[in-house]
Amino acid sequence: MKLNGFQTLSLSTAASVYVLIVLGGIVSNTGSGLACPDWPLCNGQVLPVLTTHVIIEFTHRVWTLVVTALVVSTTIVAWRKFRWPNIITKLATFMFVLLLCQIFLGMITVESGTMPAAVASHLAVATLVFGSALATSVVALSKGRT
């Protein structure tokens, strides 16, 4: 089956969100969450001094930019291609709104010193972002070459 542009974009978005969740797990499991104790900067710098823990945390933050670009692109293309109130447009818009919440929770997670409730909330919303990205892809794939 040959994928159309939107199908490829939505699958890329879902895959990138999954990678971001894995990177977040690595940040948590290595104790790197406080390597960049401020947000959105890292140790007061756009490009911080790179130690092992900073590289791990900073990679997570940089990958967030990739995910954000893909989520925004998926949402814009969904609106242009399918219009409202198509299910794909609804799912993509939900994914975008969840991502905004996720970015805010990321800031809270850092500023709280990785308080367990903040970390758990951050992971929970990340899972919802992934679920909505995956649902967008599944619906796009089920619609074939629309």
Q: Angle 75-97-55 (CA atoms, 0-180°, nearest 5)?
A: 90
C-alpha to C-alpha distances, 41 to 28, 65, 67, 123, 137, nearest whole angstrom: 19, 13, 18, 21, 33
- pLDDT value of residue 97: 98
Cα–Cα distance between 47 and 71 in angstroms, integer?
24
Q: How many CB atoms lie within 10 A of CB 120?
A: 12
Per domain, the residue ranges of the chain are 5-142
**Consecutive 10-residue runs of the chain (146 residues): their mean pLDDT?**
93 98 96 92 94 96 97 97 94 98 94 93 97 97 72
Sequence-ordered list of residues with C-beta below 8 angstroms from that of 7, at least 6 positions apart, any chain: 137, 140, 141
